């Protein structure tokens, strides 16, 4: 998933300005309100990086206070949701080989409910329990291993969110004891939302929060300019920008992108994507290489961008239209890239809430 952000460059005065001219400018500025600076925070989390840009007219809290709160929250989320920590809450659930109800963190239940909705809308293509298939194809070891049909069928029988039962808001039950839940396709969006809740707690209402390219914005820049987001061109052999998106919405807006162009194998003239169809257990084979979803809820957007990418443009647009999801699909055939949009995305464009150039 690759989304990048632009921030305004510092403006420098030409050297030809005289001292008197600088004094005059200083006097003029003293009678005007100087916009507050954009504060920038950064760090590492979830195997990637995070960046936060915000501004406020308040002097409190300090930037250091905000960063400490964000870092502490990201560490807490990691303890609950990370599939790469053997001591996390979700891994404790995965490693308990039982069909008895298990007590789990309410956040896990919340993410599974969101994932169930995307699973249903994608007719089972998107599924949080797909990790054993991912490993079977060699993506875990980063070495392609095309499975034998019998082995694929065996693993596929053990996969399926339908084998996961929500008892209540704090209990889950596996219908198959070996079932494993991987939250990586949705946890990043949720983590972005948690960062924004910290900012909102401190009455910061103008911000851009991003983890690994997944982001959410609210408000404007200090000069009342809209936030601008750059989308990466969905190609594997270069890092370049394809579009710049200006966000003219008053409400919080998340922008999430899923793509096939960074993680794949090429073998015997065929490309195998890391996006697997949970119904077949095989990599997707359609021409959709990128899906960007715009939504007020970054958790929902994070699940839906992967679900729609799994489905591909034709079925994906139908599903997005039924659910009212604003989505941008990019297809590639040879060197030609073509954009397709859902009805809700078109409405954002038509109302000038989203401007793409």
pLDDT in tens, 53-107: 999 998 889 999 999 999 999 999 999 999 999 999 999 999 999 999 999 999 9
71 and 213 belong to one structural domain: yes
91 and 164 belong to one structural domain: yes
Q: Is residue 114 part of a domain?
A: yes
Q: At what angle do helices 343-350 and 313-323 cross, to 10 degrees?
A: 70
Tell me which of 183, 212, 237 is where a domain ends. 183
Tell me which of 149, 183, 217 is where a domain ends. 183
With contact defined as beta carbons under 8 Å apart, do 245 and 265 qualify? no
With contact defined as beta carbons under 8 Å apart, do 45 and 191 qualify? yes
Q: Which residues contact 336 (CB under 8 A, 6 or more apart)?
A: none
Q: Is residue 21 part of a domain?
A: no
Strands 336-341 and 326-333, by their bridges, are: antiparallel
346 and 261 belong to one structural domain: yes
Q: 48: domain range?
A: 3-8+35-79+185-356
311 and 269 belong to one structural domain: yes
What confidence tier does 272 reach under pLDDT thresholds 50, 70, 90?
Answer: confident
207 and 265 belong to one structural domain: yes
pLDDT at 10: 30
51 and 111 belong to one structural domain: no
Q: Is residue 192 part of a domain?
A: yes
Round to whole Å and give the CA distance between 307 and 96: 28
110 and 159 belong to one structural domain: yes
pLDDT at 277: 94
With contact defined as beta carbons under 8 Å apart, do 345 and 235 qualify? no
pTM reported for the whole predicted model: 0.87
Span 340-354, mean pLDDT?
97
218 and 305 belong to one structural domain: yes
Round to whole Å and give the CA distance between 281 and 298: 27
Dihedral sign, CA of 100, 140, 299, 73?
positive
Q: Give strand pairing partners of 327.
A: 293
User: In percent, how much of the chain has pLDDT > 90?
Assistant: 72
pLDDT at 184: 92
102 and 48 belong to one structural domain: no
With contact defined as beta carbons under 8 Å apart, do 164 and 179 qualify? yes
Span 140-166, mean pLDDT?
91
Domain harbouring 132, CATH code: 1.10.3980.10
Judged against a pLDDT cut of 50, whether residue 116 lies above it is answered with yes
Q: What is the pLDDT of residues 243-271, one digit of tens each?
A: 899 999 989 999 999 988 666 677 666 77
| Domain tally, the chain | 2
59 and 88 belong to one structural domain: no
Tell me which of 165, 183, 201 is where a domain ends. 183
Q: What is the pLDDT of residues 192-245, one digit of tens each?
A: 999 999 999 999 999 999 999 999 999 999 999 999 998 887 776 666 677 899
pLDDT at 262: 64
Q: Is residue 239 part of a domain?
A: yes
Phi, psi of 267 (to 5 degrees): -150, 130
């Amino acid at each position: 998933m690759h989304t990048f952000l632009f921030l305004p460059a510092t403006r420098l005065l030409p050297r030809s300005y005289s001292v008197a001219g600088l004094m005059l400018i200083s006097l003029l500025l003293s009678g005007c309100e100087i916009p507050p600076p954009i504060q920038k925070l950064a760090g590492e989390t979830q195997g990637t990086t995070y960046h936060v840009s915000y501004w406020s007219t308040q002097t409190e809290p300090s930037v250091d206070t905000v960063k400490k709160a964000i870092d502490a929250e990201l560490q807490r989320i990691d303890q609950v949701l990370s599939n790469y920590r053997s001591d996390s809450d979700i891994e404790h659930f995965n490693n308990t080989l039982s069909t008895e109800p298990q007590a789990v963190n309410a956040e896990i239940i919340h993410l599974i409910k969101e994932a169930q909705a995307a699973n249903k809308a994608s007719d089972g293509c998107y599924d949080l329990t797909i990790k054993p298939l991912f490993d079977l194809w060699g993506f875990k070891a980063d070495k392609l291993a095309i499975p034998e049909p019998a082995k694929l069928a065996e693993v596929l029988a053990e996969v399926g969110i339908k084998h996961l039962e929500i008892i209540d808001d704090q209990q889950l039950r596996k219908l198959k004891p070996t079932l494993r839940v991987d939250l990586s396709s949705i946890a990043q969006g949720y983590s972005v939302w948690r960062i924004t809740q910290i900012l909102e707690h401190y009455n910061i209402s103008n911000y851009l929060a991003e983890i690994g390219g997944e982001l959410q914005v609210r408000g404007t820049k200090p000069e009342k300019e809209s936030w601008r987001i750059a989308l990466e061109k969905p190609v594997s052999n270069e890092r370049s920008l394809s579009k710049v998106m200006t966000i003219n919405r008053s409400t919080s807006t998340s922008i999430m992108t899923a793509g096939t162009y960074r993680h794949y194998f090429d073998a015997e003239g065929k490309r195998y994507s890391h996006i697997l169809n949970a119904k077949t257990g095989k990599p997707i084979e359609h021409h959709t290489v990128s899906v960007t979803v715009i939504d007020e809820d970054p958790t929902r957007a994070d699940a839906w961008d992967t679900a729609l990418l799994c489905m591909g443009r034709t079925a994906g647009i139908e599903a997005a239209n039924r659910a009212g999801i604003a989505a941008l699909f990019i297809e590639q055939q040879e060197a030609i890239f073509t954009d397709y949009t859902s009805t809700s995305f078109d409405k954002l464009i038509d109302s000038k809430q989203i401007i793409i150039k």
